[in-house]
């Protein structure tokens, strides 16, 4: 894809990471597709949510930023399949856990949006 597409996805990921760090559902709703599918794939803790249910959970949590937790995240891969679909692999640490995210992005109303967030917990890197 184009350099502009790549830059837009990187900007979306920055908003995603910041929105999670601030527990800011308003910011996160701007990066998620309205039909988001949220999937925790950790064995024994499987969970499937829609956007509104997930945002209610975000609204109910103490923001990691408010607890003084530093941001710790990385984009591991961005792959474009076509002008309308992309995949991002990312990792982050938050709320005492390390996460691996597989995010599927689609173009929605001319902008990239996360339509699927599938993730698992990783062993701590302490």
Q: Is 60 exceeded by the pLDDT of residue 126? A: no
d(CA 99, CA 91): 5
pLDDT at 123: 72
- Specify the CATH architecture of the domain 3-122: Roll (3.10)
pLDDT tens figures, 79-97: 999 999 999 999 999 988 8
> How many Å is the maximal CA-CA distance in the chain?
42
7-30: pLDDT as tens digits: 999 999 999 999 999 999 999 999
DSSP secondary-structure letter at 70?
P
In sequence order, what are the residues at sequence separation of 6 or more whose Cβ sits closer than 8 angstroms to the Cβ of residue 52?
A: none
Q: Domain ranges for the chain, please list them.
A: 3-122
Place 37 in a pLDDT band, splitting at 50, 70 and 90.
very high
d(CA 64, CA 94) in angstroms, rounded, equals 7
Starting at the edge strand found earlier in the chain, the sheet holding 72-82 runs 47-50, 32-40, 111-122, 97-108, 85-94, 72-82
Contact 83, 18 (CB under 8 A): no
Three-point CA angle 104, 121, 68, nearest 5°? 100
**Using CA atoms in the order 20, 25, 31, 37, what is the torsion angle rounded to 10 degrees?**
90
At 57-83, the pLDDT tens digits run 999 999 999 999 999 999 999 999 999
């Amino acid at each position: 894809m184009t350099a502009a597409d790549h830059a837009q996805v990187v900007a979306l990921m920055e908003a995603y990471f910041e929105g999670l760090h601030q527990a800011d559902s308003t910011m996160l709703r701007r990066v998620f597709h309205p039909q988001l599918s949220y999937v925790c794939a950790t064995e024994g803790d499987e969970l499937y949510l829609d956007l509104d249910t997930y945002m209610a959970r975000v609204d109910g949590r103490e923001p990691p930023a408010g607890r003084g937790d530093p941001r710790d995240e990385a984009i591991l891969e961005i792959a474009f399949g076509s002008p309308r679909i992309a995949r991002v692999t990312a990792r982050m640490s938050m709320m005492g856990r390390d996460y691996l995210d597989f995010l599927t992005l689609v173009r929605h109303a001319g902008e990239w949006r996360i339509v699927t967030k599938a993730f698992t917990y990783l062993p701590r890197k302490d």
